[in-house]
């Protein structure tokens, strides 16, 4: 089922999400719905608060191949954050807005998959590293807009007024 994506200004996007205590059928359904919603919106990642849930769940598919390969990460924890990459980011919750964000290049993400199994994802840079950090930020109520430098924030504010 496709879910409604909340947009910036909705206070549900600013909530610190709670860990998922157990991967139940309900959680699996939510993750599957989030994947459907992400593809329908042509996004590369989606976090639970963007669809109004306060649970620590992210889904993503950095589209490194033509075939769809959606991944679910429940209670994600990032570690081994090293290096630096800088690139344009947007967000399904901030339609029409973009900006350059500095992120860590190397990321290790651990958490549970939709079967409740422990998984480890390592990324050396590129879209996957950015997506993991962008989506995990959502679980702590942080939007990419918060990570822009002051000059870019000013530009985005002006663009938003024009939208
Ligand atoms: Zn986002």
Within the chain, strands assigned E span 45-47, 57-60, 71-82, 85-89, 99-103, 106-112, 118-123
Residue 4 pLDDT grade (very low, low, confident, very high; cuts 50, 70, 90): very high
Q: Give the Å distance between the CA of 21 and the centre of ligand 1.
A: 24
pLDDT of residue 14: 98
Question: What residues are labeled active site?
Answer: 135
- Exposure string (b/e) for 88-118, b if CB count within 10 Å is 16 or more? ebebbbbeebbbebebbbebebebbebeeee
Q: Give the Å distance between the CA of 43 and the centre of ligand 1.
A: 9
> Is the dihedral angle over the CA atoms 71, 51, 100, 146 positive or is it negative?
negative
pLDDT of residue 21: 97
DSSP 107-146: EEEEEE-TTS-EEEEEE-SHHHHHHHHHHHHHTTT--GGG
pLDDT of residue 88: 93
Type and span of the H or E element at 25: helix 25-40
pLDDT of residue 2: 97
pLDDT of residue 66: 83
Q: Give the Å distance between the CA of 44 and the centre of ligand 1.
A: 9
The mean per-residue pLDDT over the stretch 148-163 comes to 88
The token duo for 16 is: 């610190």
| Residue whose entry in the numeric block shows the structure tokens 């000013």 | 154
Q: Give the Å distance between the CA of 52 and the centre of ligand 1.
A: 13
Residue 146 pLDDT grade (very low, low, confident, very high; cuts 50, 70, 90): very high
Q: Partners of 100 in the beta sheet?
A: 88
pLDDT of residue 57: 98
Residue 163 pLDDT grade (very low, low, confident, very high; cuts 50, 70, 90): confident
Domain boundaries, the chain: 11-162
Q: Give the Å distance between the CA of 134 and the centre of ligand 1.
A: 6
pLDDT of residue 73: 98
Q: For residue 23, is pLDDT > 80?
A: yes
- What's 11-162's CATH class? alpha beta
Residue 160 pLDDT grade (very low, low, confident, very high; cuts 50, 70, 90): confident
Q: For residue 159, is pLDDT > 90?
A: no
Give per-residue pLDDT as tens, 63-113: 877 889 999 999 999 999 999 999 999 999 999 999 999 999 999 999 999
Q: Give the Å distance between the CA of 103 and the centre of ligand 1.
A: 14
The mean per-residue pLDDT over the stretch 109-136 comes to 97
């Amino acid at each position: 089922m496709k879910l409604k994506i909340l947009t910036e200004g909705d206070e549900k996007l600013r909530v610190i999400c709670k860990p998922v205590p157990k991967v139940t059928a309900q959680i699996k359904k939510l993750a599957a719905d989030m994947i459907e919603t992400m593809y329908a919106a042509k996004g590369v990642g989606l976090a639970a608060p963007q669809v109004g849930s306060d649970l620590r769940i992210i889904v993503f598919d950095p589209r490194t191949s033509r075939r769809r390969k959606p991944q679910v990460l429940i209670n994600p924890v990032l570690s081994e954050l090293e290096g630096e990459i800088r690139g344009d980011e947007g967000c399904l919750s901030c339609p029409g807005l973009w900006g350059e964000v500095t992120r860590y290049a190397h990321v290790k993400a651990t958490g549970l998959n939709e079967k409740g199994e422990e998984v480890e994802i390592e990324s050396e840079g590129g879209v996957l590293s950015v997506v993991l950090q962008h989506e995990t930020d959502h679980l702590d109520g942080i939007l990419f807009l918060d990570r822009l430098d002051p000059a870019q924030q000013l530009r985005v504010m002006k663009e938003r007024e024009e939208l």
